[in-house]
Amino acid sequence: MAVIGYFEAFPQKTETELRTVTFVEDGPGIPAGIYLFTEYFCTDLNCNCERVIIKVLNPKSESDRNPREVATISYTWSPGEDKAWQKTNSEFANPFLDPFHKQASFADELLEFWSDMVARDRGYALRLATHYDELRQKKGKSERRATAFDPSAFDAPLNREERRRLRKSRPGKHARG
């Protein structure tokens, strides 16, 4: 599954569609500061997960180019037809903090805040689905799927000896002169 950031594909929309929140004073669990809710979507056209990964970033200042990731939220607006995602959706509440990402001590509070925001702001919730469709139209492609009979679908890196043999087998392309 290839996942791409929406605002990486559409940087011009950062000014108008990137959801940001500023907490002016420390609240119950969430420190004061600016929080950016960035969106990442699956671009595999064989998958119809209808899922967004929200990375919550906390820059130290408005000019901070490397903001700290403080929470990663996984959310689907549809149970989907994919059996693997149906199993995931049955095991985790929707939305949930992604267990494969590091979460700040206040990530649970950010999850609660974001969940309330999506429930209250129907326009924002619908925009996530629109962004999913837009990104898949622009960057989507069919990913190769591995089967028991097609292990080549895994793009394992070649070791040094395999690279050397490959260069020798194609002397016109990789020969050194």
For residue range 18-36, what is the model confidence (pLDDT) as tens digits? 999 999 887 778 999 999 9
Give 33's strand partners.
23
Dist CA 5 CA 54 (whole Å): 9
Under the banding of pLDDT at 50, 70 and 90, the label for residue 2 is confident
- Which residue did the predictor score with more confidence, 88 or 148? 88
**Angle, alpha carbons 70-98-39 (nearest 5°):** 65
Give 35's strand partners.
21
Nearest to 31 by CA among 140, 110, 124: 110
Nearest to 98 by CA among 78, 65, 69: 69
Average pLDDT, the chain: 82
DSSP 67: P
Under the banding of pLDDT at 50, 70 and 90, the label for residue 48 is confident
Nearest to 104 by CA among 174, 36, 57: 57
**Tokens 């901070």, located at residue:** 64
Dist CA 19 CA 7 (whole Å): 11
User: Residue 176 burial (CB < 10 Å; 0-12/13-18/19+)?
Assistant: exposed
Residue 59: half-sphere exposure toward Cβ, Cα within 13 Å? 13
Under the banding of pLDDT at 50, 70 and 90, the label for residue 177 is very low
